[in-house]
């Protein structure tokens, strides 16, 4: 027991130590430049410091969550995963970068990534457990919203660092240089980044997979109308980006748009249009549907983690479709867009349709990581005070809003 207490005390001290430092955001260009001249030793020396900093920063915020939420079993499980991963990383703090140590470090990172595979679903389950067992006032809800944006963004960034290291130096591609030189399954990828990511190809891939779900449920689906700069085009549109991130956003938006269209038109559904435009600062993808639009009273809630009209998922089918049933598809997609300083916005015309726009940085040196930083400013959001309104409250709607979610939602997908 004394040994266990000593270990806990040491970890707590290390957590306090690393939480004093700010994370070091990287740009896509920095990821690319390092990958082209990949040095496992340099990556090890950077990550053994940077990963504990990122973990410690967000773990300090977990501790500030409302006590009722911290007591939820699923949240406790997530907390245990983070504590264990932090312990395993700091074991390498003073070890020399010999080849055996480098191999152990890479294996440890892969193990940590696997351990955290279900973090999003498990934390979401914890929020559901809170909603089912306690009344949640608006102040607590705002604190949870603030935390989850930062928590999931931190997770995206940590997985990005781990993926880059394991893809460049691990055995996933068979050899260290496979992802750099374009050999094997990595193609031209540098880690998880594609220096010539074809936006058009990712759009088509996401559309076809969303269409498969739509056909299976509705026995029909809207066609895709693909434009570049406002005119029909199927030519490539290369950018430097992480294809899996872009796919995640597009797949979510296509599911939403298709469900809206199919529930508005029984016959001859109009197409879903995607217009890709390259500007000086941004590459923009506007996805437009004619699925009846969204009331403003509902659209304001679509990025709220604690708002979902989908049926609660069972643990047995949580892997069928990513984030099924939690209503997290849109907020998580927006985080992926914002991770490299892009964005995702919705604009809807109730009674007609909805436009969703993804903004991506056109220049890789401007696509910097957006990372949460733990400090005194962030702590105040976990102690919500009553705020008196300084504007008159809106009148309640003259009719009850539909309670069904205005997006693709069926037994295999609740977003």
Query: Would you say residue 69 lies in a domain?
Result: yes
Is 272 inside a domain boundary?
yes
Question: 24 and 50 in contact (C-beta within 8 Å)?
Answer: yes
| Predicted pLDDT at 309 | 45
Task: Please indicate, yes or no, whether residues 175 and 289 belong to a single structural domain of this protein.
Answer: no
Q: What percentage of the chain reaches a pLDDT higher than 70?
A: 83
Instruction: Return the bridge partners of 190, or none.
Output: 193
pLDDT at 319 over 70: no
The domain spanning residue 156 has which CATH number? 1.20.140.20
Task: Report whether pLDDT(327) > 80.
Answer: no
Please tell me the distance from the alpha carbon of residue 217 to that of residue 116, in angstroms, as a whole number. Answer: 31
Can you list the positions of beta strands (E) in 68-205?
194-198
Distance in angstroms (rounded) separating the CA atoms of residues 403 and 11: 47
Whole-prediction pTM: 0.87
Q: What is the percent of the chain where pLDDT is above 90?
A: 72
**Catalytic residue check, 405:** no
Closest CA to 266 of 203, 222, 316: 222
Asked whether residue 241 falls in the same domain as residue 150, the answer is no
What are the residues facing 278 on neighbouring strands?
A: 283
Spatial contact of 221 and 227, defined as CB atoms under 8 Å apart? no
| pLDDT recorded at residue 386 | 64
pLDDT at 174 over 80: no
**Rounded distance between C-alpha atoms, residue 137 and residue 64, angstroms:** 17
173 pLDDT band, cuts 50/70/90, is very low
Give per-residue pLDDT as tens, 215-244: 999 999 999 999 999 999 878 999 999 999
Evaluate the CA torsion angle 243, 244, 246, 250 in order and state its sign: positive
Residue 191 φ/ψ region, left for φ over 0, alpha for ψ in the -120 to 50 degree band, beta for the rest: left
- Same domain, residue pair 198 and 271: yes
Above 60 in pLDDT, residue 280?
yes
* Rounded Cα distance, 230 and 265, in Å: 25
pLDDT the model gives residue 403: 42
* Residues 169 and 206 reside in one and the same domain: no
Residue 398 has pLDDT above 60, yes or no: no
Give the strand pairing for 272-278 and 224-228: parallel
| Residues 151 and 261 placed together within one structural domain of the fold | no
116, 119, 126, 147 from 79: Cα distances, Å = 11, 10, 11, 14
In this predicted model, what pLDDT tens digit does every residue of 96-115 receive, in sequence order? 999 999 999 999 999 999 99
Which residue among 123, 148, 180 closes a domain?
Answer: 180
Query: Is the confidence at residue 312, as pLDDT, over 80?
Result: no
State whether 338 and 238 are in the same domain.
Answer: yes
Which segment of 51-60, 151-160, 185-194 scores lowest on mean pLDDT?
185-194
Task: Say which of 116, 245, 248, 286 is annotated catalytic.
Answer: 248
From 339, 348, 331, select the one nearest 406 (Cα to Cα): 348
The model's confidence at residue 376, banded by pLDDT at 50, 70 and 90, is confident
Alpha-carbon span 199 to 219, nearest angstrom? 28
Rounded distance between C-alpha atoms, residue 221 and residue 216, angstroms: 9
Residue 394 lies in a domain: no
Residues 104 and 162 in one domain: yes
Report the range out of 173-177, 185-189, 207-211, 328-332 with the highest average pLDDT: 207-211
Write down the catalytic residue from 189, 252, 341, 369. 252
- Note whether residue 411 is domain-resident: no
163, 256, 413, 415: the active-site residue = 256
Query: In the annotation, is 248 catalytic?
Result: yes
How far is residue 252's CA from residue 269's CA, in Å, rounded to a whole number? 19
Same domain flag for 283 and 354? yes
Q: Do residues 213 and 303 both lie within one domain?
A: yes
Residue 407 is assigned to a structural domain of this protein: no
- pLDDT band at 33, cuts 50/70/90? very high
| Residue 130, domain extent | 2-180
- Mean pLDDT, the chain, as a whole number? 86
DSSP labels, 186-206: GTT-BTTBEEEEEHHHHHHHH
Whether residue 159 is found in the same domain as residue 224: no
How many separate domains does the chain show? 2
What's the confidence (pLDDT) of residue 175? 38
Q: Provide the CATH number for the domain around residue 215.
A: 3.30.565.10
Identify whether residues 171 and 202 lie together within a single domain. Answer: no
- Burial (Cβ within 10 Å: 0-12, 13-18, ≥19) of residue 77: middle
- Mean pLDDT, to the nearest integer, of 125-137? 92
Residues sharing a CB contact under 8 Å with residue 157, sequence separation 6 or more, in sequence order: 23, 54, 339, 369, 371
Higher pLDDT, 148 or 5: 148
**CB of 66 within 8 A of CB of 140?**
yes
The verdict on residue 114 lying in a domain is yes
Q: What is the pLDDT of residue 234?
A: 79
- Candidates 245, 255, 341, 361; catalytic one: 255
| Widest CA span in the chain | 71
Is 279 found in the same domain as 202? yes
Q: Contact, 294 vs 302, CB < 8 A?
A: yes
């Amino acid at each position: 027991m004394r040994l266990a207490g000593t270990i806990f005390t040491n970890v707590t001290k290390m957590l306090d130590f690393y939480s004093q430092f700010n994370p070091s955001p990287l740009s896509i260009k920095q990821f690319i430049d390092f990958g082209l001249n990949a040095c496992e030793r340099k990556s090890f020396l950077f990550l053994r410091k940077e990963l504990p900093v990122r973990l410690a920063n967000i773990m300090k915020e977990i501790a500030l969550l409302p006590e009722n939420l911290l007591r939820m079993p699923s949240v406790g499980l997530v907390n245990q995963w983070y504590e264990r991963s932090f312990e395993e990383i700091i074991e390498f703090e003073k070890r020399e970068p010999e080849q055996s140590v480098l191999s152990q470090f890479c294996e440890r990172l892969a193990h940590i990534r696997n351990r955290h595979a279900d973090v999003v679903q498990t934390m979401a389950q914890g929020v559901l457990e809170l909603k089912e067992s306690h009344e949640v006032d608006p102040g607590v809800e705002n604190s949870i919203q603030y935390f989850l944006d930062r928590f999931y963004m931190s997770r995206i960034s940590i997985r990005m660092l781990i993926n880059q290291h394991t893809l460049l130096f691990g055995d996933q591609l068979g050899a260290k240089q496979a992802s750099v030189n374009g050999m094997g399954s990595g193609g031209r990828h540098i880690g998880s980044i594609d220096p010539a990511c074809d936006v058009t190809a990712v759009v088509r891939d996401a559309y076809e997979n969303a269409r498969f779900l739509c056909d299976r449920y509705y026995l029909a689906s809207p066609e895709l109308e693909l434009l570049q700069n406002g005119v029909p085009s199927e030519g490539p549109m290369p950018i430097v980006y992480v294809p899996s991130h872009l796919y995640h956003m597009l797949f979510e938006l296509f599911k939403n748009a298709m469900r809206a269209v199919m529930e508005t038109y029984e016959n001859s559904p109009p197409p879903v249009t995607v217009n890709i435009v390259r500007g000086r600062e941004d590459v923009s993808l506007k996805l437009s549907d004619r699925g009846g639009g969204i009331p403003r009273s509902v659209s304001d809630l679509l990025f709220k983690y604690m708002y979902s009209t989908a049926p609660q998922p069972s643990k047995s089918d949580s892997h069928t479709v990513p984030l099924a049933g939690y209503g997290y598809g849109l907020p998580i997609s927006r985080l992926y867009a914002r991770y490299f300083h892009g964005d995702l916005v919705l604009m809807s015309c109730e009674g007609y349709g909805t436009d969703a726009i993804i903004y991506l940085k056109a220049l890789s040196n401007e696509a910097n990581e957006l990372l949460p930083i733990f400090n005194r400013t962030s702590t105040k959001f976990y102690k919500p005070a009553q705020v008196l309104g300084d504007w008159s409250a809106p009148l309640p709607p003259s009719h009850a809003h539909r309670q069904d979610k205005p997006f693709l939602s069926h037994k295999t997908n609740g977003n």
